[in-house]
Amino acid sequence: METVFSLDDLRRRIQGWRREGARIALVPTMGNLHAGHISLLERARALADHTVVSIFVNPIQFGKGEDYARYPSTLEADQGKLSAAGLDLLFAPNLDQLYPGGIEEDTRVTVPVLSSILCGQYRPGHFSGVATVVSKLFINVQPDVALFGEKDYQQLLVIKRMTRDLLMPVEILGMPIVRESDGLAMSSRNSYLNADERARAPLIHEELRAAADKLVTGKHSLIAIETAAMATLTAAGFRPEYFSVRRAEDLEIPKAGDRSLQVLAAAWLGEARLIDNLRVELAGPLPQG
């Protein structure tokens, strides 16, 4: 495995692969890698001749008071995991490489509407930060395909919309959530949980599954499902931001007749902000009301 830190070195490697007619895959990450990240790399290697993983903690997707300054940095350990998994190229730029003019006046890429709901409501500017850095990576890596985890389901839809709207020739693939044995979605931020919080954390997934069961029976209103889940999480010591049933394709409020739904939740537990989601496919159309 080769590690490059500069755009010049990255571009030279990409140009060589392009001259060979190689197919290239990209897996963007912020490091502190876990099994979920490695599953993306393994799938990417099956889809392309060469795979690039990027590690960059992107400051403009963090809001005021969020954990940018203390986000785990584990480059040496990450290099070991990626090398063992057969990665071709690791791109680990510093801030000046991706934001040479500084982050305050840097051009932003914004996906309207989709970026302002759910997580976007509680993290203003977050998805603009994500779209901006991913577009920079796409421009320089020139991937044929890029892979993202479905744990960040709203982020996945934002990137798909950006890619479509900006006519970028990149195939975007969402990959299934990788979970711990108790159902907790793997996340770099799980390391913020203490022992007691870690024991309670799987409740968020349990509530998603309970909501899915209620949706399938068709005997509960969406509002009743969402309200009950929020109450359960609050009683267990979570600080939920939202628990919401949405239309899977665009995260709009479901309407009568919809069948493909996504249940999404975001909640704080101690110092960790946990997000999770679950797809629900109804056998029949969603009833009115």
User: Would you name the residues annotated as active-site residues?
Assistant: 37
Give me the residues paired with residue 29 across strands.
55
Give me the residues paired with residue 51 across strands.
25
CB 171 within 8 Å of CB 135: no
Which amino acid is present at 74? T
Task: Give which of 128, 163, 126, 165 is closest to 148, Cα–Cα.
Answer: 163
Give the tokens for residue 256: 């009568």
* CA atoms of 178 and 155, how far apart (whole Å): 17
Q: Would you state the torsion angle of the CA atoms of residues 59, 61, 63, 65, taken in this order, to the nearest 10 degrees?
A: -50
CB 145 within 8 Å of CB 47: yes
CB 245 within 8 Å of CB 272: no
Q: Which residues of 253-271 are buried (b: 16+ CB within 10 A; e: fewer)?
A: ebeeebeebbbbbbbebbe
Task: Give which of 224, 255, 43, 78 is closest to 149, Cα–Cα.
Answer: 43
How long a stretch of residues is the chain?
A: 289
CB 186 within 8 Å of CB 180: yes
Tally helices (H) and strands (E) across the chain. 10, 9
Q: What is the DSSP letter of 177?
A: P
